[in-house]
Amino acid sequence: MSAHGDHDLGHTVAGWTGTAVGVLGSAVLGAGVITASAAILWLGAVVVVLAALTCWALHLAGWGKAAGPRPASAQDWRSRDTAARHGHPGCLGCRMAGRGGVRAAAVPTPASRTAAV
């Protein structure tokens, strides 16, 4: 049991890596502001964009998680998500990668016939 009880806080390799690279990019951006250097500002912005792309790539590789809580056996941050290969339902990142996610089949409803008045 963790310090937070049975809550799935979403700690994943993708999340931690994206956060670490994003913090580094923010630090570089801060250094660019302090030194008033456009080159350092651009470098920081590039690192922040790389953080988002790294997090997305790791999510698609199965090192992230789908929305919602995971089973207790899969809550370890080093757990790999085997369902990521087919896409997560309702996941924007999976849709952007061309993975539609598992969707429920639409239930057809019969058309009603009404008399013309």
Residue 5 lies in a domain: no
Domains contained in the chain, number: 1
Judge whether residue 54 has pLDDT over 80: yes
Enumerate the H helices of the chain as residue ranges.
Answer: 13-35, 38-58, 92-96
Does the pTM surpass 0.85? The reply is no
Give the residue-averaged pLDDT of 80-98.
76
Is 82 domain-assigned? yes
Tell me, yes or no, whether 80 lies in a domain.
Answer: yes
d(CA 69, CA 86): 19
Q: Within a domain: residue 4?
A: no
Q: Which residue has the higher pLDDT, 11 or 82?
A: 11
Answer whether residue 1 is part of any domain.
Answer: no
28 located within any domain: yes
How far is 50 from 84, CA to CA, in rounded Å? 21
Domain that holds residue 72: 13-96
Q: Which of 11-15, 16-20, 62-66, 87-91 has the highest mean pLDDT?
A: 16-20
